Structure 1
Amino acid sequence: MSNQQEIPARTVYIVSDGTGITAEALARSVLSQFNLSYARIHIPFVDNIEKARSAKRQIQEEYNRTGLLPIVFSTLVIPELVSVLREARALHLDVIQTFVEPLRMELGIAPKQEIGLSHQNMESTEYKNRIEAINFTLAHDDGQSNKELEEADIILVGVSRSGKTPTSLYLAMQYGLKVANYPLIPEDFERGRLPSALERHKNKLFGLTIQPERLSEVRHERRPNSRYASLENCRYEVSEAEGMMNLEKIRYLSSTSKSIEEIATAILSDMRAFSGPAQEKPPV
């Protein structure tokens, strides 16, 4: 254990011929498995030889300065650019090249080796649908609008600050889903029923809950020393919200210890598996 803590910090480079989102996601996932401190440097849009040489020089200078191999996650698809980058002294982890060669051998066809294929055709139906989903989700954030809820793919409900907004936006941006979200508030608990606008859309509802202690911490950052953020009030709201979701047979999960990605994946898995009238399901 002590040896892990004594490992020198490394510099991690994210090199891509595009935005670098794919390489960034992989780097985060892989490096999370190690007890390692590191500085992350992004070098996006490396789409010609000169940019590749510039990236190579930057990486090589880091090695010359520290004597430690920088860690390079790259998604370059042009072999010539990959070759230039690999001239730098570093641990090179090629996200694309790792899979291209085995697929070429299996399929018996040559890869296109063109930059930006995964992001091409911004006029495609898929792209337009994603933009529409983002606009819809923004317009229906935090119960702002009751209009066109029949178009929603998912409607998230839960107490304020339980993670509804970031989850909604993630689902819209990553999956092109139209997501509305509604806060469950004390007035709803006093009435003992869902907001009227949601009654006829129960099959689209999914709930988020959260541990009261964590909710209190989050709310204190927004409104310090308020009743809204008090632990007593948070316990009340969470208890009432979970009771209402159980009563209305709304599937729900706790966002307390889950990342946005984990929450979204769990929601998608549950919604895809679910069919027919809503059925009671205990929190995950």
Structure 2
Amino acid sequence: MADLNPPSSTIPRPVFIVSDGTAITAETLAQAVLTQFPNLNYEQRRIPFVDTVEKAVATADRINLVQEKTGMRPLVFSTFSRKSISNAFCDECTGFVSELFRSFVNPLEEELGMKSSHQVGMTHRIRNEENYDRRIAAIDYTLTHDDGQTDFGLDEAEVILVGVSRSGKTPTSLFLAMQFGIKVANYPLIPEDFDRGTLPEALAKVHDKLFGLTISPERLHEIRNERRPNSRYASIENCRYEISSCEAMMDREGISYLSSTTKSIEEIAATIFATLHLEKHERIG
């Protein structure tokens, strides 16, 4: 009989994210758990909308087949709102199943003395139309003000991210807009700015909203080389020059900044909130 849990780190452990909804919540919770095992080599698959008993059984059989083929017991993270679907899946699946809602909802039902709704999609429903409209407006603003496309309306921004090209400004901007309804502009600092020795005029007027992102030259070189291989723009020498010049400018200007090299977007966002004393709007979805 095959060992279901071989210790080899060269073989990825199968991980399944299963839900009767989008599986976004299950994936978020699973990622939070799996980050506590940095040496775990795994291959993740997401299976959303398993919203009938029949689909639950078929999905369990699919996971069981992976176990038979690989000889490794899959790790399964699931969020089922309806007990009948959860029971059918758990009864059939031979993987290591963490039914995330049951871990939290059942004890809360006992503590609160009330039953939960057991409705699909409650995590992502629109609870407040005003907050939803704010998020849409923030996304629109952030896309319009990406990569210094326009100086118009910078005074409306709640955050203006600055840094060299490809230092993580755009994904961080979109995360803040999509998750928290924050209007974010991002503005690249370029060699012309470093030669001049001052911030672009448009940024000097909104200095209190600036937050900088930097990155290690080696990582920047890797990212830029994928975009424009063997170019002056991507060379390690130029990356070192731009990073050192950018950090020196932010130090002179008193702009708070951090490195995106090893930080997650969530960590960067939390630091920006704390540094700029932002009001964290209700997270939607």
Q: TM-score range by the shorter chain?
A: 0.7 to 0.9
Cα distance 1:203–1:224, how it changes in 2: closer, same or farther (>3 A)? same
- Equivalent pair of 2:13/2:74 in contact (CA under 8 Å): yes
Residues 1:217 and 2:218 aligned together: no
Cα distance 1:225–1:171, how it changes in 2: closer, same or farther (>3 A)? same
User: Which whole-Å CA distance do the structure 1 matches of 2:87 and 2:50 have between them?
Assistant: 13
Q: How many percent of aligned residue pairs carry the same amino acid? A: 53
Residues 1:86 and 2:97 aligned together: no
Among residues 70, 73, 82, which one is paired with 1:69 in the alignment?
Answer: 73
User: Which whole-Å CA distance do the structure 2 matches of 1:230 and 1:56 have between them?
Assistant: 49
Structure 1, 260-269 or 88-97: larger mean CA deviation = 260-269
Residues 1:28 and 2:13 aligned together: no
AA aligned to 1:73 is: F
User: Which whole-Å CA distance do the structure 1 matches of 2:242 and 2:9 have between them?
Assistant: 45
Q: Deviations over 1:164-197 (max 9, x none)?
A: 1111111112222111100001221222211111
Secondary structure at 1:87 match in 2: helix
Structure 1, 31-40 or 102-111: larger mean CA deviation = 31-40
User: Which whole-Å CA distance do the structure 2 matches of 1:211 and 1:64 have between them?
Assistant: 43
| TM-score when normalising by structure 1 | 0.87
User: Which whole-Å CA distance do the structure 1 matches of 2:19 and 2:149 have between them?
Assistant: 38
The count of corresponding residues between Structure 1 and Structure 2 is 272
1:192 maps to which residue?
197
Structure 2: which 5+ runs fail to align?
1-5, 280-285
User: Which whole-Å CA distance do the structure 2 matches of 1:220 and 1:6 have between them?
Assistant: 29
How far apart are residue 138 of structure 1 and its match? 1.0
User: Which whole-Å CA distance do the structure 2 matches of 1:7 and 1:182 have between them?
Assistant: 42
| TM-score when normalising by structure 2 | 0.87
1:53 maps to which residue?
57
User: Which whole-Å CA distance do the structure 2 matches of 1:7 and 1:255 have between them?
Assistant: 28
Structure 1: which 5+ runs fail to align?
275-284
User: Which whole-Å CA distance do the structure 2 matches of 1:66 and 1:255 have between them?
Assistant: 36
Give the alignment of 1:1-284 within 5 angstroms.
4-5=7-8, 9-32=12-35, 33=37, 35-66=39-70, 68-88=72-92, 89-121=94-126, 124-272=129-277
2:3 maps to which residue?
none
TM-align CA RMSD: 2.3
Q: Which has the higher contact order (CA 8 A, sep 6+)?
A: 2
